[in-house]
Chains A and B, each alone.
Chain A
Amino acid sequence: MQNDQQLTNEKSLEIIQQMINQAKANFTDSGLSWLLWGTMIFLASLSTYFFIDLGSETIFLGWNIFGGVTILLLLYDVVKPKRKKVKTYVDELMRMVHIGFFVCIFIIIFSINESVGPNNGFGFLLMIFAFLMLIKGGAIKSKALMVGAVVNWAGAIAIFINKEFKYDMLIMAAAVLVGYIIPGLILWAEHKGSNKISK
């Protein structure tokens, strides 16, 4: 872009529109974090179901591994070098939403261990997952994430109604499959597709 070109009023409006659209194109999500978290929660839920079914004593082994990996990933996120060319208002808002999300998750996990118990506690987890899906889905205009939010809220209600814990884990796995893994795959495919176009 040169600066010495005669600028007409139409051209001015065109530049404004074009640049605002260019900035808007940065509100994207590669889907990788949805796939990563979704797969971990999916495997932890299924492992608990099978451990209960097999009569194992270590039914929460999958969740303990998930907890350890989560702490390591969060620590890595704090210390990893960050170099972003642009910070949008949505980025700033999402950072705060993520902090609030993880604080809520840790309080729910604490409540599961202290008083609420696993029978209902996992329903609260699905509730908060759905909240994040709705916000992120709205911000990046992903219908898959918004559908995932509805499914996770439905899953939370199902967990509160259901009395047998091992089936809670199947509900959890199904909700996470629809709310995290499928939207993650769709976003990943879209991200790969848009990268190919821009190359």
Chain B
Amino acid sequence: MEFKELDPILHSQLRLAVMSLLISVREAEFTFLKEKTNSTAGNLSVQINKLKDAGYIEVTKQFSNNYPQTICKVTKKGIESFEAYVTALQTYMNPGG
């Protein structure tokens, strides 16, 4: 049984939480991610930038009714990496399977 290496970008508590949320929805605002992950704005912002730099998410900044909005959306590469991460995780959880 070969153990697959876990993607270091995803193998982090907050980044994994953000990716898991974005996988389930079409797009989400920064405030939604902050609320659901119960994280600080500064930490979340840093982790979102890391996911963006890896090409896992798209970040769009815009104004809506005079309010600044940061919208995050998972990319195709992000979906593939997330699926690969879950598959790799399963090899660790069920080594005989």
Q: A residues bordering B, Cβ < 8 Å?
A: 1-3, 5, 7, 9-13, 15-16, 18-20, 22-24, 26, 81-89, 91-92
Contact size range, B: 20 to 34
Given the complex, which residues of A lie within 8 Å of B59, measured CB to CB? none
Are the C-beta atoms of A20 and B20 separated by less than 8 Å?
Answer: yes
Please indicate the chain A residues that have their CB under 8 angstroms from the CB of B24 in the complex. Answer: 19-20, 23-24, 88
One of B13, B26, B29 near A7 (C-beta < 8 A): B13
Asked whether, in the complex, the Cβ of B65 is within 8 Å of the Cβ of A87, the reply is no
Contact status B12-A3, CB under 8 Å: yes
Counting residue pairs across A and B whose Cβ atoms lie within 8 Å, the total is 87
A19 contacts across to B, CB distance below 8 A: 17, 20-21, 24, 36-37
Question: Which residue of chain A has the shortest Cβ distance to B37 in the bound complex?
Answer: A1
Cα separation A101 to B57 with both chains bound (whole Å): 34
> Can you name 9 extra interface pairs (CB under 8 A) apart from A23-B36, A83-B65?
A3-B14, A7-B12, A9-B92, A19-B21, A19-B24, A83-B64, A85-B28, A86-B27, A86-B28
Contact with B16, one of A10, A16, A24, A84 (Cβ below 8 angstroms): A16
> Which B residues form the contact surface with A (CB < 8 A)?
6, 11-17, 20-21, 23-29, 31-32, 35-39, 43, 47, 64-65, 67, 86, 89, 92-93
In the complex, what residue of chain A is closest to B23 when comparing beta carbons?
A20
**Which residues on A sit within 8 Å (CB–CB) of B92?**
9
Contacts of B20 in A (CB 8 A): 15-16, 18-20, 23
The closest CB in chain A to the CB of B64 belongs to A83
Contact of A85 among B15, B32, B39 (CB under 8 A): B32
